[in-house]
Amino acid sequence: MLRKTFRQWRKKRFQYEVVAEVAVYRERILGNFRAFRDRYQVPVAPVLKSNAYGHGLKEVAEILKSETLPFLCVDSYFEALTLRNEGLGANILILGYTPFANVAGSKLPNVAFSILSFGELEYLATNLKQPRLFHLEIDTGMHRHGIRSEKLGDAVTLIKANGNLRLVGAFSHFADAGNANSALTPEQIGKWNETAKILKSELPSAQLLHHAATAGSIYSERIDATAIRLGLGLYGISGNREEKLELSPALELRTKIASVHELEPNESVGYGATFTADKKMRIATIPLGYFEGIDLRLSGKGAVLVRGLPCPILGRVSMNITSIDVSAIPDVTIGEPVIAISGEKSAPNSVQNIAALCGTIPYEILVRIPSHLRRTVI
């Protein structure tokens, strides 16, 4: 209570007008979550790692706190600690690597750690002196982390012999679930279902079994599991072309016009003089660059929205400044709103369309929106 009061006081004491903010749509987050839950009839574990895919770790956790959740997924001990410091009490699974000192010394309630390899399991069995909650990762074909099938029996023996290894779940990852023609996906499902059968027989405390993430959710009926992990889909972007759910992107990056001026013919813009005007133009700048999430690869080919109209990016994106063509809006003024990343799928600067322009994936565009920008839930 004291911490909450102090934060409220600090927020009022240091109020100021921001030049950029990330708008996060509460109802879109909830709508996407419920769409997957209702369609697949499986408990949904939201994935909030990497600052909730750029949407804000605390903000998204707060949005979801009234929902029935098997657990929240984060990547690190730091993220779990952040949620607990915010007073958010949902069960948490740390998916990523956690140093042994943090596992052994943790005072965080209802936080489970992932066991990522047989070597880590052996070390925990030998050195852990207090009970901790764990999910065991199974390697069904991704071949990054996990216990392979030939070591599963040894893993079960170690866990059964050590009361400090309180196994409450197990999981795996699809390698190619977004590919409808993948031969690997049915192989992974088969391996996982065999593993799940063994775990339910030998380690019945492992009630939380989960293999599918967003892209693999369409296979839920074929997977022996009690939950799905929902990452990209939670934020309104499908991970699978076969997915028929209507999802709504949940984020917009907003800023303001910082300057407006005329560009004469044969004058260039920005570093490297990569754009030169062939006619008189009216251009503006926005106070965002590649530090604030405007991808450098958008130089000379991306666009932002002013009054709903696409305004092309001119020249090279700078660290904190981007120049845009506002010739189509002759009366544009300093301080006028700009949408740098749109929450509408069809917009030229939607996350999906930006990713396509940059030759990358939506994940990268989202997680590169820096955490220091203010998140506003609307």
Q: What is the mean pLDDT of residues 195-219?
A: 97
The structure tokens 């991306």 sit at: 302
Of residues 137, 131, 82, the one with CA closest to residue 103:
131
CA separation for the pair 336, 311 (Å, rounded): 13
- On the 0-12 / 13-18 / 19+ scale of CB atoms within 10 A, 2 is exposed
- pLDDT for 6 equals 62
Q: How confident is the model at residue 240 (pLDDT cuts 50, 70, 90)?
A: confident
Query: Rounded CA gap, 26 and 376, in Å?
Result: 10
Q: What digits encode the pLDDT tens for the residues 86-122?
A: 999 899 999 999 999 999 999 999 999 999 999 999 9
In the chain the domains, ranked by start, together with CATH numbers, are 26-235 (3.20.20.10), 251-377 (2.40.37.10)
262 has a pLDDT exceeding 70: yes
Residues marked as catalytic? 271
Cα→Cα distances 253→55, 250, 341, Å? 10, 11, 5
Phi-psi region for residue 87, left (φ > 0), alpha (ψ -120 to 50) or beta? left
- Residue 73 and residue 43: Cα distance in Å, rounded? 13
Cβ proximity of 110 and 91 under 8 Å: yes
